[in-house]
Chain A
Amino acid sequence: DVKVTQSSRYLVKRTGEKVFLECVQDMDHENMFWYRQDPGLGLRLIYFSYDVKMKEKGDIPEGYSVSREKKERFSLILESASTNQTSMYLCASSYTEAAPLHFGNGTRLTVT
């Protein structure tokens, strides 16, 4: 079974802090994704990556950056956290472009 591990289940940060969300997958998947999920807005794609050191903007990249230095790890960075970034963050990976996504357990981030 594919395992996608997100480093934190719950996080509380202050406005203006730099926040790192880590995601690791153990199945040698090429593709990795970061989504956020908010009530009424569904899942929205922030960034994705098809290879090491490669990244593509999703639908809502503003205020976020990503890093993929190793194939198995994809990090989401909030450069200066704001209260409107309070959300559930979901990391996912897939083997190929056509394959389904496998999600991590999610990180519920609260910015105060």
Chain B
Amino acid sequence: QKEVEQNSGPLSVPEGAIASLNCTYSDRVSQSFFWYRQYSGKSPELIMSIYSNGDKEDGRFTAQLNKASQYVSLLIRDSQPSDSATYLCAVRNSSASKIIFGSGTRLSIRP
């Protein structure tokens, strides 16, 4: 079992709709969770950090964390073509020594 798992996609969502990206992790005592966006040929950029159960909102983005079920999700409201990218889920493991990345979900927003 991979430490951090994401559906590779592509996930195709119409413009203006809500895009929902999911991630599961195996280390039950993980403490820190991050979502990064990566455009083709570019480096990852941080979108959201979340550390406690529940929802965290930032503009059109909402991160949701459920530690009991070991999943973290990212919702993008009012999806725009500029949101088309690969989204990476990252988890800091229990030893806090490193961050583990999922393989990413490719999101495509169709006009």
Interface residues of A (CB under 8 A from B): 33, 35, 40-43, 45, 48, 56, 58, 90, 97-98, 100-106
Contact = CB atoms under 8 A, between A and B. Distances in A.
Contacts of B42: 105-106
What size tier do the contact residues of chain B reach? 20 to 34
Contacts of A106: 42-43
B46 A102 contact: yes
B25 interface: no
Nearest to A103: B43
B101 A58 contact: no
Given A98-B32, A100-B32, A106-B43, 7 more contacts: A40-B103, A42-B88, A45-B98, A90-B43, A97-B92, A101-B46, A103-B44
Contacts, number: 48
> When A and B form their complex, which 9 residue pairs have the shortest distance between CB atoms, in order from nearest?
A42-B103, A43-B101, A103-B43, A106-B43, A97-B96, A100-B34, A100-B46, A100-B49, A103-B44
Contact of A104 (B43, B46, B49, B96): B43
Given A58-B98, A101-B46, A103-B44, A43 B32 contact: no
Given A100-B34, A100-B46, A103-B43, A42 B101 contact: yes
Contacts of B96: 97-98
